[in-house]
Amino acid sequence: MTNIPAGRFITVEGTEGAGKSTCIQHVERWATSRSISMLCTREPGGTPLAEQIRDILLETRTENVDSLAELLLVFAARAQHLNTLIRPNLEAGKWVLSDRFTDATYAYQGSGRGLNIQQISQLEGLVQGSFQPDLTLLLDLPVELGLERARQRSQPDRFELEQEMFFEKVRSGYRERAAAQPDRIKIVDASKSPEQVSQQVLDILDQWLAGIG
């Protein structure tokens, strides 16, 4: 029987419609089956203030949104989320699962918008210190397939209205980060059937837990 360690932080990443919300459900069921108490949250957002910032970020608007302003809003929301929700729960021994975190900032604002990676890294240091997720599941699939899945579901938000080229850059950004940090970021082939994706997620979780338990 694997020993369950306390207070682990797992994040789920990927482009629009990749299957993040579906994956979150798999992780939640997996945790429940092992009697792991886990808080499920998301970024941008997770607290009332951070959710208000999320609304500002996702709202479609005629005014051009400055990329640096967008970056600062993302990190403002993250500071609130991290310091008032994520850290206190981890310190209390709970596990925390977040639909997106800082890898998304590198992928969207860095690779997608073309913002300076050094600047993102500086803000990351300011807001997080050395804090990082323990495990990140990256749902990777061809951009068009994800957008098709997302489109079938809801009205596009400000990010979903971006051109395909933007999401190609985001996808590349995510994959580069996964290649650079293979111990933390595990790639899931999200183009496969729901059953196959679910199996990949469970295999990764079991292997990872065996390594840390």
Which residues of the chain form contacts with ligand ATP (CB under 6 A)?
14, 16-22, 149-150, 153, 192-194, 197
- Judged by CB, which is closer to Mg ion: 21, or 181? 21
16 versus 103: smaller Cβ distance to ligand ATP: 16
Which of ligand ATP, Mg ion, none sits in contact with 50, Cβ below 5 to 8 A by type? none
Burial 20-41 (b: 16+ CB within 10 A, else e): bebbbebbeebbeeeebebbbb
Kindly state the smallest distance separating residue 22's Cβ from ligand ATP, in Å: 3
In the three-class reduction of DSSP (H, G, I as helix; E, B as strand; rest coil), residue 100 is classed as coil
CA distance 102 to 74: 9
Residues 15, 112: Cα–Cα separation, whole Å: 11
Between 127 and 146, name the residue whose CB sits nearer to Mg ion. Answer: 146
Please report whether residue 21 would count as binding Mg ion according to CB under 5 A. yes
**18 contacts which partner out of ligand ATP, Mg ion, none, CB within 5 to 8 A by kind?**
ligand ATP
Q: Is residue 75 within 8 Å of residue 104, measured between CB atoms?
A: no
